[in-house]
Structure 1
Amino acid sequence: MPETQTLQPWLHDKLVLLHSPCQLWSNADGSIDGGPVTGLYVGDTRLVSTIVTDIDGDIPVSISVRRDNASTRTMVSVPRALEGQTADPRFRVLTTEQVVESGFEQHVAIESGRDDDVRVAVRVTIVPDMSTMQEIKGGARSETLLRGEIRAAVETDGLRIEDGKGNAFTLHAPEGHVVWNGNEAVLSWCIDVPANDMVQLAWKLSVESTHAAPVAAARTQCGWDGLRAVAADTRVSRWINTSLEDLAALRMTIADDPNHAFLAAGAPWYFTLFGRDSLWAARFMLPLDVTLALDTLHVLARFQTTAHDDESNADPGKIMHELRGEQLVSQGTFVGTLSLPPLYYGTIDATELWIILLAEALRWGAPEQEIEALLPNLEAALAWLRDWGDCDGDGFLEYIDRTGHGLSNQGWKDSGDSVRWNDGRIADGPIALCEVQGYAYQAAMLGADVLEKFGRPGAEDWRAWAKRLKTRFNEVFWVDDGNGRYPAIALDRDKKPVDSLTSNIGHLLGTGILDEQGVRDVVARLVGDDMLSGYGVRTMSTLAGGYWPESYHCGSVWAHDSAIVMNGLRAEGYEAEALRVADGLVRAADAFGYQIPELYSGDSGENGPSPYPAACHPQAWSAASAVSVLSLLLGLEPGSTKPTPSNSPLARGLRLNRN
């Protein structure tokens, strides 16, 4: 058995550069030192874990790291040993690193302020790794590395390294030497640095292939290319601009379908197609780009199922959850907890969200012929709501893992402990989530509108189906904890309302499933101090027995979750309350250097939220939440030629310019 570190690596103090399908992770000082997560990844494989530069055997000391954009950074370092005891060294190294779709490039400029010429030996040591993403996530060592399966050969244009499983890359060092030392590659140069001058060198890593990689870089343009936000409140513009850069770097395609792009869910763990994540992110982006929504719809329609399969959780008409290059098997500290097929359908909400995105893309101006081409997929998705989504015939959509090694929870809060009673107990499935009923109602109503527009049958039947769902929902889901009524997070296996107060209820706003009093009651509970942290909406009320501010789904704040609540408040006419959520998200973005992570703690106070250490960053729907805030502040609406900007201070001077 491979040696394990037993702990999932933490990411909160790590830096990342992205250009799908590649990502480079380093420590805060820019070093890539073979730590649990540092290195260069392509898809779900870490190709190398270590990249270390030394000058005359001395590793320069990093003094600054500046991110130029999502894929490029500039670092300044000083080789102190070269200068001896002085406190005022006159020698430094400027390093530019860039992740490109085909690998990685490094440019090194050595600058001298001395009055004499200096000859130095520069060496870059690179350690191949070939770990799978699940090995990295579980804290396990690379089995490929431990078994000694990595091989290298010097070729005419560089050193080729491969593992015999389809992962291969080549190192190129122009004007330098490349050697293989058994388990590491060494690139070296002997350089004369002129007095009061500089000298430059460069090398690159070119990816040749990665084992079973299902995704590739998107090469088409996106609707937000060249857009830059300007605002009087620079927090707003900096967050929007950083997010747009990150979103462009997260764009991917299926390897054999280069014409339809989607947003990878997040780096590093989810750097691939996820149904729910990609749909929400594309929906947030509609005010800027309807093409991304159409492409995402097309990609997911390609994988829409026509058959029932217990192992993959597939049913006819269902939209997929997750795509990997090979079976996803948990490793290390998570060993034995999860085993998913490469194409997995364990999601209760992606199908409804696909229908909703289709209808909303049409409202935002998508060409009718492109919507019409997807009508067979729409009809199949609607049929899934009726024929398969309700697995026990009680009138609600619910889920259960039929294998014992899939996801036990299949809504957006998909951790095993996310659905809890108010006293902290974990609910037993099948689980019928409240927000899923809202999605289903909205999907049926909007789907009916689309069918009717294009002259397809069934519109009235789906409106009647939605009406029955709404009536039953409002009869069964409501609870009261003594502080006011609200919908339970879910019904459990015994059809009892699971009574914790959670952010899930905010997803019901704008769906139409709530009556007027229900909307008022939901809004009243969401804006309480137990739910609003000052940095967004908590996933669970501080009054609930299962609450913990650092819990993944039971007390933390997720930016996308808060943006959904914010958009729902806006849709129901509660703009002031929506702006409170927006203000909290801007404050959170500022606290995290404008690359807002997947999630963060539910703490309140002026010290800001704490990081959730293992959170992805960037995360597509977290970054795209900035566009939802932009849309709120500028008053953007489908079909509106004269938006009405908000009078919030956040909106002062806010505009989008195109370079």
Structure 2
Amino acid sequence: MTSDPGLQPTVHELDVCLRAPVSVLSAHDGTVRGQGAEGVYCGDVRVLSVVGVTVAGRAPDGIGGGSTGTGTSRHVAVLRGLGDPGPDPTIRLETVRELADDGLTETLRLVSGAAQPLHAEVVLTLATDLATVEEVKSGQPRPLVAPDGEGWAGRGVVVAVPGLEADGDHGRLTWTVEVPPRGEVALDWSVRVVDPGGVTAAAPTPSTWSTPRVTCDDSRLAPLLTQSLEDLAGLRMVTTTEPDDVFAAAGAPWYLTLFGRDSLWTARLLLPLGTELAGGTLRTLAARQGTRRDDATGEEPGKVLHEIRRPPVAEEGTTPFLPPVYFGTVDATPLWVCLLHDAWRWGLPADEVEALLDPLERALGWLATDADPDGDGFLEYLDRTGTGLANQGWKDSHDSVRFVDGRIADGPIALAEAQAYAHEAMLGGAALLEAFGRPGAQRWRDRAADLRARFRDAFWVGDAEGRYPAIALDGDKVPVDAPASNMGHLLGTGLLDAEESAQVAARLGSPAMDSGFGLRTMATTAGGYGPLTYHCGSVWPHDTAIALTGLARDGHRAPAASLARGVLAAGESFGQRLPELFAGDPATEVRRALAYPASCRPQAWSAAAPVAVLTAVLGLRPDVPAGRLEVAPLRPAPLGALRVEGLRIGSDDVTVAVSAAGEVEVTGFSGEVVLG
């Protein structure tokens, strides 16, 4: 693990204990050594950067441990040289960590297998730099902040540790103990954080989504789903202004807050388990929908935001990379509409849908106005400040939009997938307006048809392998022609006809795109490809899940099956906890996927990917308002026989079973079941 100043610290080898807004990134023995990204975080602030224990002056040697559930972990270490003589360790230290809404409690348990009592002084050493997440991510170290009484105060937060005694820049808790022979002693300590400037908080209730019971011939699916739902439970948050509406934070440690597209996609992929997360996400974002034009923040009337952060503390003289409320995203607004439509189809109560129709109309209005500043019919973006995000789709790194020869495109940029989301949003918005007796539906259907025709004329390019949609149009309306995973987001949106969909499916299924662990963000044949680039060759599980969903919906079974198996292979590579992204090296060359060192883990939309696998493999297409459920599984069954109990469709608890031969059985749905 590197902690060199100026380099983003690596996190792939750290243990993560998470219950948002609190998280602990530690070594696998549970210690926080003051290196890199290690620390105890509350929201956007690292409240402890050192947590270490000595017993009789000796540092424990970790032997194992890690997360035991949402917000809990257990780590075991041995104290060599204490206890009975001989090579076998007879004194061990067990650290049981439990996170709370505003801090954590730990129990340090000294367990003896020795024949004689152990008399020892136990010292817990704590320290903090009160760094923001942005500062930690930048790799620029901050000096330690000296304790003030029983804790620390600064940068707008108060960190309290009862019993703490100051020792220079560190604080210490000290116990003198006697551990009886073959007995144990337990020592408790805690830290609590008060952050008046925080914009997010812990969810007030446990998760309400269904926890499905999965029986599958492929034994990798059930444990991956279990770990993923545990991770998602740890990422549940609310804002301080909408404390009853729960959303999924994007990921730990860098993005533990509300992100427009991430939170929307997570809720969308999780719809088979219930609509509550979707409702909370939609309402939280609608409450912050843009009302004015502001180049500094990217706000525009009807636009849905990109992210929110804790405001900087003025006396510290720090400036965040982006404004605390930032709207620099071209896709969150149409995705908000798509989620509202899909949640309605999955059974979001009509009164909740109706309460969001005004924000729906404002979002649709943005698609037809500020989203298309030059009036060419395409959504596009350009950062006008020079300090915001240069790219404002999900691939938001500066170099993600490239030509096939590797050149980086100049803006304004019109992304392919943003047009697909807009097309789907216009059709879904029209369906909602019509269903709830509001005017304007035909206007949006006509506009969607026009967008579809314009896209066909402007975006398609070709090479020796055939035709495919470009990533984007650049500022001169030239197609940016590197083959990339963006095209996978067009499937299932209605933007493509059957022949075009088949051409995209063939490209996604090629060895240049399908790594065996999922879909590469850019084909290996492109000049900008690199297996460890953030958006130009790496694999993102959510990106794979979106393409997989579209492939299944459009009937492309072979590439869909391959991507489904790739998600499971990736999960196995990372101990069933899917990271934000990983390297694009092929499964033919590496047995396990290789880590992207700075990747968030867990990441919400990655954790939602296994649910997307269920949806695609089973072929679930509900229409609860019409009392209808279509089940069109992938055949032949890519994961063997699969039975899922506890799917939530409307108010029904539904079981769907598909045999290895593709025979379907559905129970529990109160409406019409149509088998495809």
After TM superposition, is the score higher than 0.5?
A: yes
Distance 1:56 1:519 in 2: 68
Structure-2 residue corresponding to 1:218? 203
User: 2:156 is matched with which residue: 149, 154, 166?
Assistant: 166
Structure 2 partner of 1:64 = 64
2:593 corresponds to 1:609: yes
Report the alpha carbon displacement of residue 179 of structure 1 after superposing the two structures with TM: 1.3
> Would the alpha carbon gap of residues 612 and 589 (structure 1) be closer, same or farther in structure 2, given more than 3 Å must change?
same
How far the C-alpha of 1:20 sits from its partner, in A, is 0.7
- Paired residue for 2:336? 354
Residue pairs, 1:7-406, within 5 angstroms: 7-83=7-83, 86-142=86-142, 145=144, 150-153=146-149, 159-163=150-154, 165-172=155-162, 178-207=164-193, 209-210=194-195, 212-224=197-209, 227=212, 229-326=214-311, 339-406=321-388
Q: Which amino acid aligns with 2:224?
A: W
Aligned residues of 1:328 and 1:340 also touching (Cα < 8 A): no
Bigger shift: residues 491-500 or 228-237: 228-237
Report the alpha carbon displacement of residue 633 of structure 1 after superposing the two structures with TM: 3.3
Q: Give the C-alpha shift of residue 83 in structure 1.
A: 4.1
SS of the residue 1:396 aligns to: coil
Q: Equivalent of 1:520, from 502, 516, 524? A: 502
- Provide closer, same or farther for how the CA distance between residues 328 and 597 of structure 1 changes in structure 2, counting only shifts above 3 A: farther
d(CA) in 2 for partners of 1:102, 1:346: 30
Tell me the distance in 1 between the aligned counterparts of 2:202 and 2:640: 34
Aligned mate of 2:641, from 652, 655, 658: 652
C-alpha distance in structure 2 between counterparts of 1:63 and 1:151, whole Å: 32
Tell me which amino acid in the other structure corresponds to 1:513: L
- Count residues with an aligned counterpart: 637
The answer to whether the Cα contact below 8 Å between 1:358 and 1:371 also exists between their aligned partners in 2 is yes
Counterpart residue type for residue 507 of structure 1: H
CA distance in 2, matches of 1:644, 1:310: 46
Q: Provide Cα deviations, 1:56-115, integer angstroms capped at 9, x if missing partner.
A: 010111111142113212111111132486211222122211222221111122111222
CA distance in 1: counterparts of 2:129 and 2:379, whole angstroms: 44
| Pairwise CA distance, 1:124 | 0.6
Letter in 2 for 1:167: V
Give 1:120 deviation, angstroms.
Answer: 1.4
| Stretches of structure 2 lacking an aligned partner (at least 5 in a row) | 648-676
Change (3 A) 1:656 1:465: same
SS of corresponding position for 2:370: helix
Q: Deviations over 1:318-337 (max 9, x none)?
A: 000010111599x9xxx99x
* Distance of 1:66 and 1:433 partners within structure 2: 41
Residue 156 of structure 1 corresponds to which residue in structure 2?
none
3-state SS of paired residue (1:541): coil
Cα deviation code 1:627-658 (max 9, x no counterpart): 11122334433245685665535253543469
User: Of 605, 610, 616, which residue of structure 2 is paired with 1:621?
Assistant: 605
Q: 1:120 and 1:657 mapped to 2: Cα distance?
A: 52
Contact 1:224 1:244 in 2 (8 A): no
Give CA deviations for 1:327-386 in whole Å, capped at 9, x if unaligned. 599x9xxx99x7321110000000000001011110001111111111110110001001
Identify if the C-alpha distance between structure 1 residues 28 and 4 changes in structure 2 by more than 3 Å, giving closer, same or farther.
closer
Residues 327 and 228 (structure 1), Cα distance of their counterparts in 2 relative to 1, 3 Å cut = farther
Q: Distance in 2 between matches of 1:378 and 1:653?
A: 37
Amino acid at match of 2:169: N
Structure 1 residue 499 corresponds to structure 2 residue 485:
no
- Tell me the CA shift for residue 308 of structure 1: 0.8
> Runs in 1 of length 4+ with deviation above 6 angstroms?
none
- Aligned equivalents of 1:221, 1:376: Cα separation in 2: 30
In structure 2, give the amino acid aligned to 1:32.
V
Change (3 A) 1:122 1:237: same
CA contact (8 A) 1:275 1:300 kept: yes
TM-score, length of structure 2 as denominator length? 0.91
Please, which moves more after superposition, 82-91 or 284-293? 82-91
Matches within 5 A, 1:446-465: 446-465=428-447
Question: In structure 1, how many angstroms separate the alpha carbons of the residues matched to 2:638 and 2:461?
Answer: 37
Q: Determine the C-alpha separation between the residues in 2 that align with 1:339 and 1:110.
A: 44
- Seen in structure 2, the aligned counterparts of structure 1 residues 196 and 84 have a Cα distance that, compared at 3 Å, is closer
Contact 1:123 1:186 in 2 (8 A): yes
Matched-pair contact (CA < 8 Å) for 2:411–2:474:
yes
RMSD: 2.1
CA contact (8 A) 1:217 1:253 kept: yes
Q: Secondary structure at the match of 2:340?
A: helix
Structure 1 contact 634–651 (Cα < 8 Å) conserved: no
Q: Which moved further from structure 2: 644-653 or 625-634?
A: 644-653
CA distance in structure 1 between the aligned counterparts of 2:508 and 2:618, rounded to whole angstroms: 24
Contact 1:49–1:129 (Cα < 8 Å) also in 2 = yes
Structure 2 Cα separation of the partners of residues 535 and 353 of structure 1: 26
Distance 1:4 1:65, change over 3 A: closer
Secondary structure of 1:172's aligned partner:
coil
Q: What is the alpha-carbon distance in structure 2 between the residues aligned to residue 222 and residue 114 of structure 1?
A: 44
Secondary structure of the equivalent of 1:400? coil
**1:437 matches 2:433:** no
Q: Letter of the aligned partner of 2:186 in structure 1?
A: Q
**1:53 Cα deviation after fit:** 0.7
Instruction: Give me the whole-angstrom Cα distance separating, in 2, the residues matched to 1:459 and 1:649.
Output: 39
Q: 1:452 to 1:426 in 2, by over 3 A?
A: same
Task: Indicate if the aligned counterparts of 2:471 and 2:487 stay in contact, CA closer than 8 A.
Answer: yes
**C-alpha separation in 1, matches of 2:492 and 2:638:** 25
Q: What is the DSSP-based 3-state SS (H/G/I as helix, E as strand, rest coil) of the residue aligned with 1:162?
A: strand
> Could you give the per-residue CA deviations for residues 229-261 of structure 1, whole angstroms, max 9, x where no partner exists?
444433111110000000001000001321100
The residue type equivalent to 1:445 in the other structure is L
| Equivalent residue letter for 2:133 | M
In 1, Cα distance between equivalents of 2:457 and 2:232: 41
Shift, 1:418, TM fit = 0.2
Residue 198 of structure 1 deviates from its aligned partner by 1.6
Q: Deviation at 1:210?
A: 2.2
Distance, in Å, in 2 between the alignment partners of 1:224 and 1:230 is 19
Match of 2:58, SS state, is: coil
- Per-residue deviation, 1:224: 2.8
Q: Secondary structure in 2 aligned to 1:74?
A: strand
CA distance in 2, matches of 1:637, 1:417: 36
In structure 1, the gaps of 5 or more residues are: 154-158
AA at the equivalent of 1:152: D
**AA at the equivalent of 1:459:** A
* CA distance in structure 1 between the aligned counterparts of 2:104 and 2:640, rounded to whole angstroms: 39
Amino acid at match of 1:180: A
Q: Is the 8 A contact 2:308 2:326 kept in 1?
A: yes
Paired with 2:348 and 2:577, the residues of 1 have a C-alpha distance of 30
Which residue number in structure 2 is paired with residue 557 of structure 1? 539
Question: Cα–Cα, structure 1 residues 574 and 538, in superposed 2: closer, same or farther, change >3 Å?
Answer: same
